[in-house]
Homo-oligomer: A and B are copies of this chain.
């Protein structure tokens, strides 16, 4: 049959299994989100509803892929952590990268109307994904610290930038005023000029979102019609520091 004559082309598929014994981080990143945000008039510097939609999409991904240990998100990016011993799809990189991107994007589109009911989705949101391996707990924690430190740096900058722009500066002027300045200067600027205490801003903006599975009580109907309280693990969104040890001591199971 004709098929066998062509089937040799399967040999051109290469093996892209990720090294065993390493943490797998899958990081998703919005493609062209500056334009996407403008098109949908997202609030600046942070649109709470859009951030909640990101978090909800991440939760959907974690419900679909039970292997995921935790996730961290900020702005238009999200990182998912698969454990060292994960065998999902034989650790094939393309499978993991494409399925997580597919699931996140599909959830983002499906959940949009719940989070932004007054704004019709006007363009296709796209997310790229990459897999990065971390051989030790230390390097994994440093990766997550890197993302959370980045959240802080970007948010402090953006808070200043948009405060200046809303006060009448042009984008170029605002950028010029902030370029090369340190955190202290920016904190002081917000406080003295705009009466803003940066540390009083919502933790969601300053620390990003951590998603871990936690026991959640829910009410279940029993066969005889009575309702019964049960517990199950649900991906829950926290906004807390993950750079210091405290979080990891409280959730020792994450690195176990």
Contacts and interface: CB of A to CB of B under 8 A. Distances in A.
A183 to B, nearest CB: 7
B20 A19 contact: no
A53 interface: no
Contacts of A135: 19-22, 84, 135-136
Contact of A129 (B20, B94, B152): B94
Copies of this chain in the oligomer: 4
A105 to B, nearest CB: 4
A253 interface: no
B142 A126 contact: no
Interface secondary structure of A, over-half rule: helix
Nearest to A15: B15
Nearest to A93: B94
Interface in A1-42: 1-3, 6-17, 19-22, 28, 31
A151 to B, nearest CB: 10
B99 A97 contact: no
A87 B153 CA distance: 31
A19 B16 CA distance: 13
A7 B148 CA distance: 11
Contacts of A21: 12, 134-136, 139
Nearest to A6: B146
Can you list the 6 inter-chain pairs with the closest CB atoms, starting with the nearest? Answer: A135-B135, A6-B146, A98-B129, A98-B101, A15-B15, A102-B105
